Structure 1
Amino acid sequence: MTQVNAHAAIDAAVHKAAEASSFWAESSISVRAALLRSLADTLEAHKADLVVIADEETHLGSARLTGEIARTAFQLRGFAEHLEAGAAHKRVVDEAIAGAPPAGRPQLTRVLRAIGPVAMFSASNFPFAFSVLGGDTASALAAGCPVVVKAHSGHPRLSTAVYELARQVLLAQKLPEGVLTLVEGASRGAGGYLVQHPEIKAVAFTGSYQGGTALWRLANERQFPIPFFGELGSINPLVALPEALEADSQNLANTLAGSMTMGCGQFCTSPGVIVVLKGESTERFILQLSDSLKPLQTHAMLTPSMRQGFEHASSVVAEHAQTLLVGTAGAGPAPRLYRTDAQSFIASSQLREEMFGPAAVIVEAANLAEVEHVLGAIGGTLTTTLWGANDDTPANRSLVRTAERVSGRVLFKGVPTGVAVCAAQNHGGPWPSSTAPQTTSVGYAALERFLRPVALQDAPAWAQG
C-alpha cells in the first residue's frame, strides 16, 4: 500500500469514528454492555477457526491461543459488568451553600465524559488479548469512545478475520460502523499519521520502547497534544532472598525457568533480571535454575525481526557479563542465563536493556542496600518480585518501598508472567515502562484512561446525566 493510499484509508476510518463519536458517547449502558458481550460471544463461537489462523501467523500454539481467546472474552464481559456497576458514570455532587467563599459555593456536579475517538495500536505478542478486541479496545468502547484499530503486521490475517466478525456484530445491533474500524497494513509512517490525525483524541499503545516513544513524541508535537497511553516493555526484576531459597529453592528454580521461557520469553512481564545475595543457598539456586533451563526448548519467535532483536540484545549482554548457560535450541532460540555483580550492573546501561526473549541476567549483591541500588538503577518497570520479604522488618519495609517506587505491580509470591484481569490490577509503571504511570492497561480501571472529568456548575438536572 502506498503512503497516499494508507493515509486515505486512515482518513476514512478516522472520519467514520468521528461521525460515530457523539452517538457512542451518549449511548446507554445497556447498549454498550450488549455490544461487549456479543463481541465475546462471537469470539468464542469462532474460536476453532481463529486459533488456526493465529497459530499459522504467530507460532504460539493452540493451547496458548485458546486460553488467550478465553481471557479476551472474559475481559469483554468483565467491562460490561463493570460498566453496569457505574464505572463510566460516576458523579460527585456538592450542593450549593449560601454565603461568600470559602464556605459558600454554587452547586457543582463532577461528571465523566468520553474523550473521543481512540487510536489503538495492536501488540505482536498477544494477538487476541492486546489486539483488535483486546483490553484497550474493550475499555475504550466501555468508556464510550469509538476505536480505530491499527492492525499489527505480525498477524494481519487474524486481525482482518476478527474485525470482520466484530463488524457483523455492529451491523446486527444496528450500530454505526465507525464505533470500531480497522486500519490494515499501515507502515510506521502511516502509524505516525494516525497519531497526529486531528480527529483522534487519545492513543493506546503496547509495544517496544523505540516504537512507543517515537509515537509518544508525535502525540505531544501535535497542535493540540493528546493523551498517549503507552506500555513500553520492562525487564521485571525478581529478588530472590536467602529466606525463600533456603525453604524451597528447587521449586522456585523450576517455576522461574518456566516463566522465563513461557511464550519464548515474549511477555512484557517476563523476568529479565534476577537479584540475589551472596551465599550457599544462592549458589545452589543458580545451579538448579541452570539445570531447569537446560532441557527447555522454545517455539519460534513471533517475527524474524524479533528473533534478530533478541540475538542482538543477548550478544550485547554477553559482552558485559559472564555467560552461565546457553541451553537447548529448538524452533526458537536457546534459553540464556548470564551473571554479573551489582556494581557492574549499576554502572553498565547495556546490562539493563530488555532482552525480549528467553533470557535473564543474575545480579549478585553484597547486601540489601545494594539490592535497592540495583532496583534504583533499573528505574521504571512493570513489575518487581520479592521472594522472601515476608517478615515485618525495617530492611524489608525499605526494600518494599523501593520496589513500589520503581514498579507498577509488586509481587511477594509467584512470578510476574500472567496478569489477572480484575478491578485491583495495575499494569503500568514509571517511565520507561509506560508513558502514563498513573494508569493501567489491564483491569477494569483501564477505562478511566478514556474518560475526562467535567465540573458542571448550577446545571439543570437534564445536563447532569
Structure 2
Amino acid sequence: MTTVAQNTPGKQSNARAVAPTTDTELESFLAAAQAAASPLAALRPAERAKLLDAVADALDSAADQLVPVAQRETRLAEGRLRGELKRTTFQLRLFGELLRDGGYLDARIDHADADWPMGAPRPDLRRVLAPLGPVVVFAASNFPFAFSAAGGDTASALAAGSPVLLKAHSGHPQLSLLTAEVVTSALAAEGAPEGTFALITGTAAGAAALRDPRIKAGAFTGSIPGGRALFDIASSRPEPIPFFGELGSNNPVFVTEAAADDRSMEIAEGFIGSFTLGAGQFCTKPGTLFVPAGSRLVDALRNAALPPAAPLLNDRIQSGYAEVLQELQANHRVTVLAQGSDPLADPPSPTLLLTTAADMLAEPHALQAECFGPTAVVVAYDDESQLPQIAETFEGQLTATIHGTDSCNVAGLIEILARKAGRVLWNQWSTGVSVTYAQQHGGPYPATTAAGSTSVGTAAIERFLRPIAYQGFPQHLLPESLREENPLGVPRLVDGRREG
C-alpha cells in the first residue's frame, strides 16, 4: 500500500511514501531468507553466477521503466542515472565471472604428514570459505542504483551465497520497489530458492531485522550517526555479528609546492570538477585541499568559474548541507575564497572556503567536518614540513590524495596517509570509484566500521564469507572444492603450493 504526497516540481515530495513493513511481513521475509540460506549456499558457484547474470539482464531490459522513476525521486539527470545503472549491471556480471573462476573460495588442502617438522604429525586439513547466511543491507540515498536495491552490497552478498533483506532508502522508495520486483522476478525465473531476496521498508523494520538472530551480517552506506547506531545494534546483540558500514569521509588532497608551480590551473580545474561532481554528493568528494600559501593555485581557485547550482537529492540532504555550510562560514578561522550567487538556496551554488594550516591545526575537528554537497575548504600552508603534522589530525578516510612531482620528498606523508585512508591517490582525483579486482573502498573508522573490508570491487564478497576447516573427512563428505578430483576446477593451495 502507498500514499501519494502533493507533487511539487523538483522537490522530494515527488516521491511516493511507501507503507513500512509490518512485523508480520518481516517475520515472513526472515523465515524465507533462513529457509533459502542452505539451498542457495549449496548451488555451485557457476549456478549462482547465472542468477547474477539473469538479474543484470533483467535490469538492463527494464532501464526505460526504472530511470524515469529514479529521475522523479532523486532529481538526478537521466545521463547520470543510465550510467549508474550500467555500472550496477556490470558489477553483477563481474561477480559472476569471479564465481566461475572459483578463486574467491580460497580453497586450501594440507595432506596428512607424519613427518611435519613442527614436532607433531600434521592431520589432513582442508579449508574453504562458505556463506555467512542471511544478511540485511541498508541502501544509500546518493546512488539509487549502484548502492541501493541491486547495488554492490546486494551483488556481493548474493554472489557469496547469502540471502539478502534489502532495507530500502526513503529517498527513492518507488524506485526501490520497482527494482526489487525486477530482481525477485529474475531470480525466480532462473530457479533461485524462494527467499533469496526481499525488500523491507521503514526504519523500525530495518533495525528489527538487524537484531534478529537469523541475520548473520549487516551492510550500510550513509551517515556517521545512522551507521554508528546500526553498528551498535549489531555489536550489542546476544550473538554479535559483523557490520560493514560506510559512514563518512573528508578525502583530503595535499598539493606540493612543485606541483602548484607546475600545474596550478590544471589542479584548480580538476579540484573544482571533483568537489562539485554530482553536486558534491559523492562519498569520495575531496573536502579539503592543502595548497602553498601565496601560490598561483590560490589565485586560480579564487578566480575560477564555479559550475552552476545543481539540486541536491532531497530536502533532508539540502537542509543538512545548509546547516554544515553555515557552521563553517560562521567559524572565525574561515573566509570565503569563491562562491556562487546563492550558496544556501535550493539548489545551492558551490562554495570554496579558505583557512590556514595553523588554524586547521588549532581546530581540526570543526574544520574537517564533512559537508555533503558542493562545498570544500582550501587550506593554505607556509611550508611542506607542516603537511605530515596536519595529516595526522585526520580521522579514518576513504581516500587521501597527493598532487606532486617525481622529485617531491613525500615518503613520510604517504606513510601517514596510508595509515589514515583505504585508497591513496597520486596526481588523480578521488571521485570515480572503479569497479574492479584491486579496488579498495573502505578505511579506518569513521570512514567505515570495518577497515579490513571493501564495499566496491570483487574483494567485497569476502565480507559475507567465513572460513571452515574440515579435518580427517572422507572424500565423499567434503565440499566439492576440497575433494582430490577438484570437480569444480577451482584454484587451490595444496600443501603450500598454488594449483590452477
Alignment TM-score, normalising by the size of structure 2: 0.88
Aligned: 1:48 with 2:61 = no
Q: Does 1:165 align with 2:177?
A: no
Deviation at 1:13, TM superposition (A): 1.5
Q: Distance in 2 between matches of 1:379 and 1:211?
A: 18
Q: Find out whether 1:322 has 2:322 as its counterpart.
A: no
Amino acid at match of 1:180: F
For structure 2, list consecutive stretches of 5 or more residues without a partner in the other structure: 2-17, 481-500
- Quick check: 1:88–1:451 contact (8 Å CA) kept in 2? no
1:113 is aligned to 2:124: no
In 1, distance between residues paired with 2:445 and 2:96?
A: 31
Asked if 1 retains the 8 angstrom alpha-carbon contact of 2:361 and 2:390, the reply is yes
Cα deviation code 1:197-250 (max 9, x no counterpart): 111000010000010000000100100000000011200001111222222211
Query: Which residue of 2 is the match for residue 263 of structure 1?
Result: 278
The match for 1:85 among 65, 78, 101 is: 101
Give yes or no for contact 1:234–1:354 (8 Å, CA) kept in 2: yes
Q: How does 1:59-458 map to 2 (within 5 A)?
A: 59-98=75-114, 101-184=118-201, 186-187=202-203, 189-279=204-294, 282=295, 284-294=296-306, 296-320=307-331, 321-329=334-342, 332-348=347-363, 349-391=365-407, 395-458=409-472
Query: Whole-Å Cα distance in 1 between the matches of residues 311 and 21 of structure 2?
Result: 33
Contact (CA 8 Å) 1:203, 1:229: kept in 2 or not?
yes
- Percent identity at matched positions? 41
Contact 1:389–1:412, Cα closer than 8 Å, also in 2: no
Whichever structure has more helix as a proportion of its residues is 1
Say which is worse superposed, 363-372 or 136-145, in terms of deviation.
363-372
Aligned Cα root-mean-square deviation (Å)? 1.8
Q: How many residues align?
A: 457
Deviation by residue 1:81-129 (Cα, 9 ceiling, x = unmatched): 0111114422111111115853521111111110000100000000000
- Find the counterpart in structure 2 of residue 58 from structure 1: 74
User: Quick one: which amino acid aligns to residue 108 of structure 1?
Assistant: L
Shift of 1:5: 5.6
Mapped contact 1:148–1:182 kept (Cα < 8 A)? yes
CA contact (8 A) 1:368 1:399 kept: no
Cα contact 1:263–1:298 (8 A) shared by 2: no
Q: 1 CA distance for matches of 2:104 and 2:272?
A: 41
Deviation per residue, 1:237-278 (Å, 9 max, x gap): 011112222222112211211111111100000000101222
Report if aligned partners of 2:20, 2:205 keep a CA contact under 8 Å in 1: no
- Using the TM superposition, give the Cα deviation of residue 389 of structure 1 relative to its aligned residue in structure 2, in angstroms: 5.0
SS at match of 2:22: helix
Could you tell me which amino acid in structure 2 is paired with residue 102 of structure 1? G
Moved more, 406-415 or 245-254: 245-254
Cα distance in 2 between the residues matched to 1:459 and 1:88:
23
SS in 2 for 1:148: strand
C-alpha distance in structure 1 between counterparts of 2:20 and 2:418, whole Å: 46
Give 1:176 shift.
2.2
With structure 1 as the length reference, what TM-score do the two structures score?
0.95
Instruction: Give distance in 2, aligned partners of 1:98 and 1:464.
Output: 24
Q: 1:13 to 1:369 in 2, by over 3 A?
A: farther
Larger CA deviation: 5-14 vs 30-39? 5-14
Aligned partner of residue 425 in structure 1, secondary structure:
coil
Partner SS state of residue 98, structure 1: coil
Tell me how far apart the structure 2 counterparts of residues 298 and 456 of structure 1 sit (CA, whole Å).
59
Q: 1:289 to 1:103 in 2, by over 3 A?
A: farther
The aligned counterpart of 2:37 is 21
AA of the residue aligned to 2:78: S
The change in CA–CA distance for 1:108 and 1:413 in structure 2 (over 3 A counts) is same
Aligned-partner residue type, residue 176 of structure 1: P
Q: Point out the more displaced range, 71-80 or 324-333.
A: 324-333
Amino acid at match of 1:148: L
Contact 1:115 1:452 in 2 (8 A): yes
Matched-pair contact (CA < 8 Å) for 1:97–1:103:
no
Code of the aligned partner of 1:125: N
Given that 1:260 and 1:270 are in contact with CA atoms closer than 8 Å, whether structure 2 keeps it comes out as yes
